[in-house]
Amino acid sequence: MSERERKISRNIYGAVQEQDIWRIITNQELKDLYRNFDLVRDIRRERLEVVEHVLRMEKERGVRTILEGKPEGRRNVGREILQWLDEEDLRQLKVKRWRQKASNREEWTVVMKEAEVLIGS
C-alpha cells in the first residue's frame, strides 16, 4: 500500500478509540485490515461501473449531458483540470466501442470481468 493509499484509508476510516483515548490507525493495522485491498483498482472498477450506468440513461438526463459534454471557451492558466472520465483505463483494457458495449448489460459484464483480471494485476 502506497503512502497516498494509506492517507486516503486513514481519512476514510478515521481514528480508533481505545479506553477513551483516540489515536490514528497504524500502518500495520491498515495492512492487516486490507491485505488484498487495492484502493486504486477499486476506484477504477467503480468508475467503470458508474460510466456504464450513466451511458444507459436517456440522453436528456443531466448526468449524461455532463459526462458527454464538451465545454467551450478558455480556461485560466494553471494546472490541467482532470476529467471525471479518464479514458486511459479503457485504453489499458483495450476495450473498443466501449460506449456501445456499456449500453448492453451482457457485453459490459464481460468487459468488467476482463477488467478485474487486468486492473487487478
Residue 99: the pLDDT is: 79
Q: Is the pLDDT assigned to residue 120 strictly greater than 60?
A: no
The pLDDT value given to residue 90: 72
Contact predicate 102/51, CB 8 Å: yes
The torsion angles phi and psi of 16, rounded to 5 degrees, stand at: -115, 140
pLDDT range class, residue 121, cuts 50, 70, 90:
very low
pLDDT digits (tens, 9 = 90+) for 63-110: 888 777 777 777 777 766 666 566 677 777 777 787 788 888 888 888
The residues pairing with 29 across neighbouring beta strands, listed in sequence order, are none
- Which pLDDT does position 84 carry in this prediction? 58
| pLDDT for the residue numbered 86 | 61
pLDDT score at 117: 67
**For the chain, what are the domain ranges?**
3-33, 39-120
Q: What is the mean pLDDT of residues 12-28?
A: 85
pLDDT tens for residues 23-56? 888 888 887 877 766 667 777 778 788 888 888 8
pLDDT, residue 61, reads 87
Q: How far apart are CA 64 and CA 57, in angstroms?
A: 7
pTM above 0.75, yes or no: no
State the Cα–Cα distance between residues 16 and 24, nearest whole angstrom: 6
Angle formed at CA 77 by CA 72 and CA 82, multiple of 5 degrees: 65
